[in-house]
């Protein structure tokens, strides 16, 4: 497998899937060893692993584990039995389209298999993993090339090595841009309620000695008003056919702020995140997570007793607010349906 970077969240080792438990970062670095598809589905649901590309990769490895178990259970009927596992994995999280892309890709491979399925499916899962790392590096180069002068950038949530097979989407651009002298500083939103910016993005940047400053989401407008950044760079969990972008809750607000303040807005995601079957952002399912994630912080109550909470995990940024979408196939400036279709046809 190609070198990812100093941070690696997913690894196949000794017939097991190993996942860095991102719930414990940055204070503890613990790898979970999983050997059942149900454990992989639980890890996706409970955010042991998160980020659209990483979820898809984990699911692919989960299917390898499912195939091993089902073939041992019934060498003649395992293809029927594994459908239960595929459905279980598909139900783990609803918004990240990479999950469904990986499941459908592996399902097609399963259809043509004869004999023990594990070696072939493992090779395919590893290929998905390797291709994602290569795509991230390509997106890093393409995104960094758009930055015309040394500047600071703002990012939201975590779209780094932890959210992908390695290197990262938005943070892949940061890594490439920093190496080229184009990105001088990273501002990271905390990203409530799971604090991915505070726990994960800041941690990744510290690991690689990239200057990073953490801020609460409410400080983003002030940062832009002061003229301190030139770009907002984020990832995505699903991009509609017209270029509308679903990403971590709070991204839409950043796009509005960026447009008002003349700050460029870049979305970085592999083509497996683009869902050409979804016409526009209104059709993207938005995951609603438990209210306890908002009412509590690390198991400590932070809200008045009796208060209720809403907890959408994602929001949709209209394509009209996006300056550029960067994929491994190329760059889409001022995205719309026609430009997205042309990019997806570019092989």
The answer as to whether 2 is a domain residue is no
Question: What digits encode the pLDDT tens for the residues 86-129?
Answer: 999 999 998 889 999 999 999 999 999 999 999 999 999 999 99
Do 109 and 145 fall within a single domain? Answer: no
Do 259 and 289 fall within a single domain? Answer: yes
* Gap between the Cα atoms of 227 and 248, Å rounded: 24
pLDDT at 8: 85
CB atoms within 10 A of CB 114: 6
Which residues have a catalytic role annotated? 237
Question: What digits encode the pLDDT tens for the residues 203-239?
Answer: 999 999 999 999 999 999 999 999 999 999 999 999 9
Question: What digits encode the pLDDT tens for the residues 252-282?
Answer: 999 999 999 999 999 999 999 999 999 999 9
Do 147 and 285 fall within a single domain? Answer: yes
Structure tokens that stand for 166 in this block:
């390695």
CB burial readout 155-194, b (16+ within 10 A) else e: bbbbbbbbbbbbbbbbbbbbbbbbeeebbebbbbbbbbbb
pLDDT at 158: 97
Nearest to 228 by CA among 263, 177, 204, 181: 263
Do 220 and 341 fall within a single domain? Answer: yes
128 in Cβ contact with 57 (< 8 Å): yes
Do 129 and 180 fall within a single domain? Answer: no
155 in Cβ contact with 201 (< 8 Å): yes
Do 106 and 145 fall within a single domain? Answer: no
The answer as to whether 14 is a domain residue is yes
pLDDT at 317: 98
CATH number at residue 332: 3.40.50.10470
* Domain termination site, one of 80, 102, 134: 134
**Total residue count of the chain as it appears in this document:** 347
Question: Torsion angle, CA of 243/244/245/251, rounded to 10 degrees?
Answer: 130
Do 297 and 153 fall within a single domain? Answer: yes
3 pLDDT more than 90: no
* Domain termination site, one of 134, 149, 176: 134
* Gap between the Cα atoms of 157 and 189, Å rounded: 7
* Domain termination site, one of 115, 134, 153: 134
Do 267 and 282 fall within a single domain? Answer: yes
pLDDT at 257: 98
- What is the average per-residue pLDDT within 77-94? 96
1 pLDDT more than 50: no
CATH number at residue 17: 1.20.120.420
Domain span including residue 146: 139-345
In the structure, what pLDDT confidence band is assigned to residue 6 with cuts at 50, 70 and 90?
low
pTM above 0.85, yes or no: yes
Do 197 and 333 fall within a single domain? Answer: yes
* Gap between the Cα atoms of 270 and 96, Å rounded: 12
* Gap between the Cα atoms of 139 and 331, Å rounded: 9
Q: Could you give the number of structural domains in the chain?
A: 2
Do 97 and 176 fall within a single domain? Answer: no
161 in Cβ contact with 168 (< 8 Å): yes
163 pLDDT more than 50: yes
347 pLDDT more than 70: no
The answer as to whether 5 is a domain residue is no
318 in Cβ contact with 281 (< 8 Å): yes
The answer as to whether 103 is a domain residue is yes
Angle (CA) 226 256 190, round 5°:
65
Mean pLDDT of the chain: 96
Do 123 and 170 fall within a single domain? Answer: no
Do 171 and 247 fall within a single domain? Answer: yes
Give the percent of the chain with pLDDT over 90: 95
């Amino acid at each position: 497998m190609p070198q990812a970077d100093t941070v690696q969240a997913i690894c196949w080792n000794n017939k097991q899937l190993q996942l860095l438990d991102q719930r414990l970062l940055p204070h503890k670095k613990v790898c979970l060893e999983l050997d059942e598809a149900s454990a992989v589905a639980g890890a996706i649901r409970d955010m042991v692993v998160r980020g659209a590309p990483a979820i898809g990769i984990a699911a692919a490895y989960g299917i390898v584990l499912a195939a091993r178990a089902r073939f041992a259970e019934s060498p003649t009927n395992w293809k029927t039995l594994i459908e239960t596992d595929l459905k279980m994995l598909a139900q783990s999280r609803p918004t990240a389209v990479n999950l469904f892309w990986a499941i459908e890709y592996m399902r097609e491979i399963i259809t043509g298999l004869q004999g023990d399925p594990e070696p072939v499916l493992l090779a395919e899962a590893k290929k998905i993993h390797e291709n994602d790392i290569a795509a991230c590096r390509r997106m890093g180069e393409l995104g960094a090339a758009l930055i015309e002068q040394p500047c600071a950038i703002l990012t939201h949530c975590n779209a780094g090595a932890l959210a992908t097979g390695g290197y990262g989407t938005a943070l892949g651009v940061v890594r490439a841009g920093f190496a080229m002298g184009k990105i001088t500083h990273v501002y990271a939103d905390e990203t409530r309620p799971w604090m991915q910016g505070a726990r994960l993005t800041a941690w990744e940047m510290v690991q690689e000695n990239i200057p990073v400053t953490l801020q609460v989401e409410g400080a983003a407008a002030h940062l832009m008003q002061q003229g301190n950044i030139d770009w907002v760079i984020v990832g995505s969990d699903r991009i509609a056919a017209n270029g509308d972008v679903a990403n971590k809750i709070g991204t839409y607000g950043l796009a509005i702020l960026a447009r008002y303040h003349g700050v460029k807005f870049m979305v970085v995601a592999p083509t497996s995140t683009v869902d050409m079957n979804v016409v526009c952002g209104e059709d993207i399912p938005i995951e609603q997570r438990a209210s306890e994630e908002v009412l509590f912080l690390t198991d400590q109550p932070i809200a008045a007793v009796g208060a209720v909470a809403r907890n959408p995990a994602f929001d949709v940024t209209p394509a009209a607010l996006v300056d550029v979408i960067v994929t491994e196939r190329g760059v889409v400036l001022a995205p719309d349906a026609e430009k997205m279709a042309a990019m997806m046809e570019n092989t």
